[in-house]
Structure 1
Amino acid sequence: MIRKVYLPRSVDGAASAMTTYGIPLLVVATTNSAMLAGLAFALEWLPRLVAFTVAGRAVDRHGAARVFRLACLGRTLAVTTAMLLTVAGYGVPVVVMVLAPLTGFLTECSYLAAETTGGEASRRAGVRAHRVQSVLLGIDQLAMLAGPLICGLLLEWGGPDLLLGTLAACSLLAAALVPRQPTMTCATVARGSGAGAGWRTLRSLPALAWLVGGLIVSNTAVALLQAAMPVIVVTELGRSSADAGLIWSAAALASLLAITAARRAIDRWGLWPVGATAAVLASGATLAIAQADTYRDYLLLIAVLMAGEGGLTVVLRTLRSHLIPSEVFASTLSLTILLLLAPYPAAGLLVAAIPPEGLGPAVTAAALLQALGLFTAFARLRTLPTAPA
């Protein structure tokens, strides 16, 4: 399990976290422009949505290991090329704007393949599926803990070239670590995979559909905060890029602790009580963030928010592994992730379009929607008997 699932996931998670947080931070540090930072965030996330229209079917047809390896190698090539262009004297903002959509697409392909492998491991674990998912989510949170902070430090002390070189090295190592597996050639998978199969499966699972719907609304608030935070910390509060990275690293630590607690709480009280508690924690923290005005407040409140999000993600991943049939798992997984990530490019465009002083009211509106969406979802889930307890 460690060699086949956890180790490749760990290295790819580090590369993914550095990609997600490093590229917008790189733009802010080199241009000091909120508009360009928001645009880079959107350019990075829009192709990620496109990736799920093809990656799920590719994984169902050809296997998770092959897709994972090719995606990591492609990201290595893209980042290495970008690093060489910056060394040759091309402007960093221009290079990053081109790099963002490429790395966004490839990162989501590798993530979907890794999630499919984790889903298979969860199904083999049976009633202990939430324990496997908590380990996988813990790996992701450790990567998020290290990634933003490392990005800030590399950028502050070594510049863009060192940041890009480290990202390329992590991507190459992830490709080398994934074990070789035989290609999937099942005719049933070939006929039944794809976006259509994902939609049909999601519609047939009302518990999963309601939870995904609530988390879409919640992710709108999280995406807006993630897109706006480099602008708020660097431009509005006058802090360094390392300080901006530290916020999300502290949030990842809080989320990691919450994931560990959620695993034990689900053993004792069940899936839905833990999910409802996490929803209250997340929505309450976002409402408080809308009123924050100091770096310390942002640091503490975003940590609380991501602790709640960590508990919600354990619930979602456990439910997916229980309910989605294995023959269409990647296709349905790709659809759910596509829906959950849709708010991210919209958030980047919003940050690019509105002035920095308008970010506070936008966060307040998103926080109210988040609270309403999560309350509605969990109120409906209490009446559905098909979900695991």
Structure 2
Amino acid sequence: MTSHTELRHARHPATGLVRGIYVPRGADAAASAMTTYGIPLLVLATTGSTALTGLAFALEWIPRLAAFAVAGTMVDRYGTTTVFRLASLARALLVLAAAVLLVARTGSGPTATVTVMVLAALTGVLTECSYIAAETAGAEASRHAGDRAHKVQSVLLGIDQTATLAGPLAAGLLLEWGGPAGMLVTLACCSLLGAALAPRQPHAPKTSTGPAAGGLRTGWATLRSLPALAWMVTGLVVSNFAAGLLQAAMPVIVVNQLGRSSADAGLIWSAAAVVSLLALTAARTAIDRWGLWPVGAVAATIAAAATLAVTQAHTYTGYLVLIAVLTGGEGALSVVLRTLRSQLIPPAVFGSTLSVTVLVLLLPFPLAGLLVAAVPPAMFGHVITGAAVLQAVGLAAAFTRLRALPGLRTPAA
């Protein structure tokens, strides 16, 4: 007999990639970009404290790590549509409530400080829940694409980078000209749009009720059984620590040290997204011709070199150019990582394994935020230099091991 769940999902046949995957991913990516880059700027504008800005960055990421303990299991159990829609709706309600409180308290004082810090923590959780759901839907589309999986992933990354192009700049401009309420209301609108356009899940989700910890154990065991994916994740962990330091320190460096505006700080990440979009297109063509390993190795070299060079930049233009180059290298690395994930992880445990993978990749970000909160701004240059050296060593070790694994030097069909 056909179950009620199967009938419910049979009424929603798989839609095309544009309506079923790309459009909802775009709405969520826009909200996520404004959250990730705009909340630290909001904290700096509200509190004026560099330490609280770094702490807010850490608070954005620490709860995200806890969310991964259950997010993947929830997606595997209840499906991408339900998790995506509820997370997007909750984020919209949260930021609207924060906007009301900030307007009522004129945007300053202890209440405003508590509001923006709590906002940083809770939006981090909800953003990652919607991300896991959207990424699982994208991986399913990649599996159906077969040998064109890397093309689907490059489109998804292009959507993410387009949002990164517009999100930080929009957050900075809205904060400068419309105040905290203007930025938060816009963020709520993007979240509501994502909830309305939640990706449709063509298959019935699992109905198992096992504990979330079991899902994490399953995901960890799967990751360890896939050496190519495990080494790729290892290299990106150390790379993300350097990227996290730059992201956490950027509001302080641009606004306080260089004397530029919040819009200028957002412009750096928007300009970086333009370069990243070009890198995604180049990576897709290069993988077709040379395979995953050569493209990943070149991208890793570019990213490490740009991070080392950014420590020597002392002008706004220098930061903008080098961050753009760094983000371009990271964009190409992300195509390699996502293609490996969609090809190697078994569909039955994809949500749990994805949660573990992203959990490991995000661990450096709260550490970076705590380090920025603890270190005097005058020491940022030395800290970033040390992280850049660690990044170069970690990526070199990872791609040295990846070179010996089969299949990664074969061009895509």
What TM-score, normalized to structure 1? 0.97
State how far apart, in whole Å, the 1-side matches of 2:72 and 2:151 are: 24
State how far apart, in whole Å, the 2-side matches of 1:30 and 1:187 are: 45
- Alignment partner of 1:264 out of 270, 279, 285: 285
Query: 2:9 maps to which residue?
Result: none
The question of whether the paired residues in 1 share the 8 Å contact of 2:294 and 2:409 is answered with no
The question of whether the paired residues in 2 share the 8 Å contact of 1:76 and 1:168 is answered with yes
SS at match of 1:35: helix
State how far apart, in whole Å, the 1-side matches of 2:44 and 2:242 are: 21
Code of the aligned partner of 1:306: T
Code of the aligned partner of 1:97: M
Shift of 1:180: 4.7
Query: 1:105 maps to which residue?
Result: 125
Question: Where in structure 2 are the equivalents of 1:219-234 lying within 5 Å?
Answer: 219-234=240-255
Query: 1:137 maps to which residue?
Result: 157
Query: 2:197 maps to which residue?
Result: 177
Tell me how many residue pairs correspond in the alignment: 389
Query: 1:321 maps to which residue?
Result: 342
Query: 1:123 maps to which residue?
Result: 143
The question of whether the paired residues in 1 share the 8 Å contact of 2:161 and 2:273 is answered with yes
Shift of 1:366: 0.3
- Alignment partner of 1:96 out of 109, 116, 119: 116
Query: 1:40 maps to which residue?
Result: 56
Query: 2:228 maps to which residue?
Result: 207
Query: 1:27 maps to which residue?
Result: 43
Shift of 1:10: 0.0
Query: 1:300 maps to which residue?
Result: 321
The question of whether the paired residues in 2 share the 8 Å contact of 1:60 and 1:190 is answered with no
SS at match of 2:406: coil
Shift of 1:186: 5.2
SS at match of 2:313: coil
State how far apart, in whole Å, the 2-side matches of 1:386 and 1:63 are: 32
Residue by residue over 1:120-172, the C-alpha shift from the partner in whole angstroms, topping out at 9 and shown as x without a partner, is: 00000011100000000000000000000000100111100000100111101
State how far apart, in whole Å, the 2-side matches of 1:125 and 1:189 are: 31
Query: 2:387 maps to which residue?
Result: 366
State how far apart, in whole Å, the 2-side matches of 1:104 and 1:385 are: 37
SS at match of 1:194: helix
State how far apart, in whole Å, the 1-side matches of 2:360 and 2:296 are: 19
Query: 1:147 maps to which residue?
Result: 167
Say whether 1:79 aligns with 2:100: no
Shift of 1:189: 9.2
Say whether 1:68 aligns with 2:57: no
Query: 1:353 maps to which residue?
Result: 374
Gaps of 5+ in 1: none
Gaps of 5+ in 2: 1-16
Say whether 1:287 aligns with 2:287: no
Say whether 1:14 aligns with 2:35: no
State how far apart, in whole Å, the 2-side matches of 1:291 and 1:32 are: 26
Task: Identify if the C-alpha distance between structure 1 residues 144 and 179 changes in structure 2 by more than 3 Å, giving closer, same or farther.
Answer: closer
State how far apart, in whole Å, the 1-side matches of 2:280 and 2:210 are: 33
Residue by residue over 1:310-368, the C-alpha shift from the partner in whole angstroms, topping out at 9 and shown as x without a partner, is: 00000000000110000000100010100001011111111110100110000000000
Shift of 1:31: 2.8
The question of whether the paired residues in 2 share the 8 Å contact of 1:60 and 1:193 is answered with no
Code of the aligned partner of 1:225: L
What TM-score, normalized to structure 2? 0.92
Shift of 1:95: 1.1
Q: Which moved more, 1:177-186 or 1:80-89?
A: 177-186
Say whether 1:164 aligns with 2:191: no
SS at match of 1:292: coil
The question of whether the paired residues in 2 share the 8 Å contact of 1:289 and 1:302 is answered with yes
Root-mean-square deviation (CA, aligned residues, Å) is 1.6
Query: 1:278 maps to which residue?
Result: 299
The question of whether the paired residues in 1 share the 8 Å contact of 2:57 and 2:248 is answered with yes
State how far apart, in whole Å, the 2-side matches of 1:303 and 1:16 are: 19
Query: 2:266 maps to which residue?
Result: 245
State how far apart, in whole Å, the 2-side matches of 1:61 and 1:376 are: 37
State how far apart, in whole Å, the 2-side matches of 1:339 and 1:29 are: 31
SS at match of 2:404: coil
Code of the aligned partner of 2:187: L
